Amino acid sequence: MPVLLMSTLTLDSVSVRFGGLQALADVSFTVEPGSIVGLIGPNGAGKTTVFNVITGVYRTSGGQVNYDGASILGRRPHQVLAAGIARTFQNIRLFQNMTALENVMVARHCRTRSGVLRAVLRSPGQRREESEIRDAALEALEFMGLGKYAAEVSGGLPYGHQRRLEIARALASAPRTILLDEPAAGMNPAESKDLMGYIERILERGVNVLMVEHDMKVVMGVCQHIVVLDHGVLIAQGPPEQVQKDPCVIEAYLGQ
């Protein structure tokens, strides 16, 4: 896959309120081009809420989300994906009865132009597009080390492979920024170490990474910048060596 032009994602004073609950309060940070940013914090800190705001699932109570200088607030999830932002989920959301290749091909369809009529008539353009979709899906599988499992039913793959398959599926949509929601959850140490290598290679595709992750070895090992939330409030951000020594971060995780 050709290297894409990297993009900048910026949250500026983003707030989210659900009734009387303040889920996010004036959260601001930037995912710079060519970076892997870790978004961490205790359970209930608001990390997944940030992902849902960026991808158009939640509306904000205030603030702005800009992508390459243009607001993406108010866009629906498929429009955010079309703009170049893809995501994975904390809980695996594969089509369990479909093959690994079919799962990834589904994601690639967001970049196609064939309408229903062309699909029914099997026009030359539609057949050519289907071939391109298959090639792109196979490339994404190979990139994530899953090429030999293309014909395997996804529900029968080992857990760690399913996690990587979700990332392959997101990459097949040709994003310029990918949001990874706990990609190492449930993995053993060897699988987590392998995953770190794959995440670092994603930058070679011209794709920025914003990652929520509880495994601190993974976060400290691959992220250049870390953002820390606690009860919806941004309490620290900076390089890993700075954040891990921050008294507010230590208190949030361990208590006084």
Domains of the chain with bracketed CATH: 1-84+175-256 (3.40.50.300), 99-174 (no CATH)
Residue 2 has pLDDT above 60, yes or no: no
Residue 1 has pLDDT above 70, yes or no: no
Q: Average of pLDDT values for 78-100?
A: 92
The β-bridge partners of 21 are 18
- As a whole number of angstroms, the distance between CA 22 and CA 17 comes to 5
**Other C-beta atoms lying within 10 Å of the C-beta of residue 179:** 26
Are the CB atoms for 166 and 129 separated by under 8 Å? no
Q: Which position has the higher pLDDT, 125 or 236?
A: 236
Residue 60 has pLDDT above 80, yes or no: yes
Are the CB atoms for 134 and 142 separated by under 8 Å? no
pLDDT-based confidence at 7, cuts 50/70/90? confident
- What pTM was estimated for this model as a whole? 0.88
Under 8 Å CB-to-CB from 74, ≥6 apart: which residues? 56, 59
pLDDT-based confidence at 116, cuts 50/70/90? very low
- As a whole number of angstroms, the distance between CA 101 and CA 247 comes to 46
Residue 126 has pLDDT above 70, yes or no: no
Q: Average of pLDDT values for 36-54?
A: 95
Instruction: Write out pLDDT tens, residues 190-245.
Output: 999 999 999 999 988 889 999 999 999 999 999 999 999 999 999 999 999 999 99
